Amino acid sequence: MESTHILVVDDSYLVLQLVRTALEDAGYEVRTAASGEEALDLIHRFGLPHLALVDINMAPGMDGFEFCETVHAFSDLPVIMLTAASEESTIVQALNQFAEDYVTKPFNVGELIARVRRVLRRVGSFAYRLQPIIRVDESLQVDFVNKQAIINGTPVSLTPTETKLLYILLRHAGRTVTYEFVLQRLWPLEVAQEDRLRVYVHRLRRKIEPDANSPRYITSERGIGYTFAKGQA
């Protein structure tokens, strides 16, 4: 079984070392980055992690919000925000847009690990092995960072929304995800309707399915949602 990989992004060396040690002692595989740019480079090189712990305030360069906005253009990566900010509006913004949870610095290591475990239990483990290019089966691979599916060796470009939708479905492969769940994950700050989702599912099927009218990967559960068939990676 694949180890759970966690990416920690913080501009404080001491915080990175403290969190790395605590997470590794708890049994997780950990990579650390001192900036959003370095974290994105790690994702390009090694693929998406199962969870990211991200400092809101980093300088210079992109802050935690900018990093999350970039990553969430091609995935629905679960995030726990690390913040020294006590402003309620900052925390609310993080939770509304990107974060599953938050931890305010200075934090108790035991509480941090408890929150990590709780988030991972809630979101579940990714259904496929997380690598730079994820292999679904002999016909379909997915390169989330570059927003493309690879169909029988041929790259096919995906829009950011199509890419994120595919991530959500792949993460829950073999299980039905409801319309409401997918809508909230794709457009957290909008009131979106099922018809809008159906348009994107239709477009995605046309790109990745051998026959969009008789889908192999994305099947519909009438009145409930969608299921991505679990392939043999």
- 85 vs 208 pLDDT, higher one: 208
Picking from 80-89, 103-112, 124-133, 157-166, which range would have the lowest pLDDT averaged per residue?
Answer: 80-89
End-to-end alpha carbon distance in the chain: 13
| Distance separating alpha carbons of residues 223 and 179, to the nearest angstrom | 8
pLDDT above 70: residue 196: yes
Q: Within 10 Å of residue 59's Cβ, how many Cβ atoms? A: 8
Picking from 5-19, 55-69, 207-221, which range would have the lowest pLDDT averaged per residue?
Answer: 55-69
Mean pLDDT for the chain?
Answer: 92
**Quick check: bond before 78 cis, omega within 30?**
no
SS3 of residue 8 by DSSP: strand
Residues 69-111 pLDDT 10s: 999 999 999 999 998 766 677 888 888 888 999 998 888 999 9
| Distance separating alpha carbons of residues 102 and 92, to the nearest angstrom | 10
pLDDT above 60: residue 232: no
Tokens 């994950």, located at residue: 185
pLDDT > 90: percent of the chain: 79
- 41 vs 232 pLDDT, higher one: 41
Q: Which domains does the chain have, with CATH numbers?
A: 5-123 (3.40.50.2300), 134-228 (1.10.10.10)
Task: Please give the angle made by the CA atoms of 171, 50 and 125, to the nearest 5 degrees.
Answer: 45
Q: Which residues contact 114 (CB under 8 A, 6 or more apart)?
A: none
Amino acid at 205: R
Please answer whether residues 58 and 32 qualify as being in contact, where contact means their C-beta atoms are separated by less than 8 angstroms.
no
pLDDT at 217 (0 to 100): 96
